[in-house]
Structure 1
Amino acid sequence: MNTLHTIDTDYELTWDEFVITVEDLHLIETGADLAEDDYATVLAAFERGLSPNGCVISLLDARRPVDQREHWFLAA
């Protein structure tokens, strides 16, 4: 079992629990299942200690089209 250290709290989730939580949160947010290529991002988030919420947010932000007016924010 891995302990995930985040800013808000510590999560003690196994890989299976983490994936199920991410899948559920993604389904709630988007109404769709994770794509096959999203699991590499989920694994990277798990290994870095990101929370399930943070993982879903990063997946959604990666899919969002880049607005040139916000380009300075992404560069930072």
Structure 2
Amino acid sequence: MNTLHTIDTDYELTWDEFLITVEDLHLIETGADLADDDYATVLAAFERGLSPNGCVMSIIDTRRPFDAREHWFHAA
């Protein structure tokens, strides 16, 4: 039996550690600090157990302009 393991599932961080990691990763990826309205997304990601990397990727993806050719990706 094959089991799929990902690196994004084994995080046990406190809220402060999670927030600092997300802020650092976002700064590295975009060169900018988180916007004030992004903290609600960070809190939701923390409560759902998303990894800090996954949280940053979702924040960056929501800021990307929507392209109709990628509509299938957003529907999935």
TM-score, structure 2 normalization: 0.88
Look up the SS of the partner of 2:11 in the other structure.
strand
Deviations 1:20-58 (A, max 9, x none): 000000000000000000000000000000000000000
> Cα distance, 1:7 vs. partner?
3.7
Aligned equivalents of 2:73, 2:10: Cα separation in 1: 28
Task: Describe how 1:23-42 pairs up with structure 2 within 5 A.
Answer: 23-42=23-42
Say which structure, 1 or 2, has more relative contact order (CA 8 Å, 6+ apart): 2
Amino acid corresponding to residue 13 of structure 1 in structure 2: L
Identity of aligned residues (%): 83
Distance 1:41 1:48 in 2: 11
5+ long unaligned stretches in structure 1: 1-5
Q: How does 1:30-69 map to 2 (within 5 A)?
A: 30-69=30-69
Structure 2: give runs of 5+ residues left out of the alignment.
none
Distance 1:12 1:40 in 2: 20
Return the index of the structure with the highest Cα Rg. Answer: 2
* Residue deviations 1:4-32 (CA, integer Å, cap 9, x gap): xx942411210000000000000000000
Give the alignment's TM-score, normalised by structure 1: 0.88
Give the structure with the larger strand fraction.
1
